[in-house]
Amino acid sequence: MIHATVHWTNHADDFDKHRYSRAHTWMFDGGLQVPASSSPDIVAVPMSDSSAVDPEEAFVASLSSCHMLWFLSIAAKAGFALQDYRDQAVGEMKSNDDGKLSIAIVTLHPVITWSGTTVPTANEVHQMHRQAHEECFIANSVKTEVRIES
């Protein structure tokens, strides 16, 4: 089982006029609390907290993180060592077949710095990314197209 607690409290008198803060907190099993909010691109500040994580950012980050963790495991098992892995993942909002906005495409842009004496070929890197995508629990759970451009 996977658990997360989401908590929001009303601090406004005009809730029914949509004049309430969308800021809330995500709490995880290890005790971490993350400030969260709607995106300021969707709900304007001050009703959104631009310094908090919004669900769309978290979705993109979770796909990227899951892919990276699988990639690291696959590379280690293959005998390759990494020094650094950085991904500037991008999500694209589009209307789906039902006319609803969705995160239709997430493009991962991993940049890897290898260490050690054995560095994989471009084809081996491509195969490790393909395998990481196939193993990623998050990617296996969503309709979103995930692209990998490295």
Q: What is the CATH number of the domain that holds 127?
A: 3.30.300.20
Task: Please report the pLDDT score of residue 16 as a whole number.
Answer: 87
The percent helix, strand, coil of the chain (3-state, each to 5) is 30, 30, 40
Contact yes or no for 136/109 (Cβ under 8 A): no
**Above 90 in pLDDT, residue 34?**
yes
DSSP state of 54: P
Closest CA to 150 of 59, 51, 58, 75: 75
Both 36 and 8 in one domain: the answer is yes
Both 92 and 135 in one domain: the answer is yes
56-88 per-position pLDDT tens digit: 999 999 999 999 999 999 999 999 999 999 999
Amino acid at 46: P
Both 63 and 44 in one domain: the answer is no
Both 82 and 130 in one domain: the answer is yes
Q: For helices 55-77 and 122-135, give the axis angle rounded to 10 degrees.
A: 120
106-140 per-position pLDDT tens digit: 999 999 999 988 999 999 999 999 999 999 999 99
Contact yes or no for 63/146 (Cβ under 8 A): yes
Residue 18's pLDDT band (cuts 50, 70, 90): confident
The domain containing residue 130 runs over which residues? Answer: 55-148
Number of domains in the chain: 2
Task: Please report the pLDDT score of residue 1 as a whole number.
Answer: 93
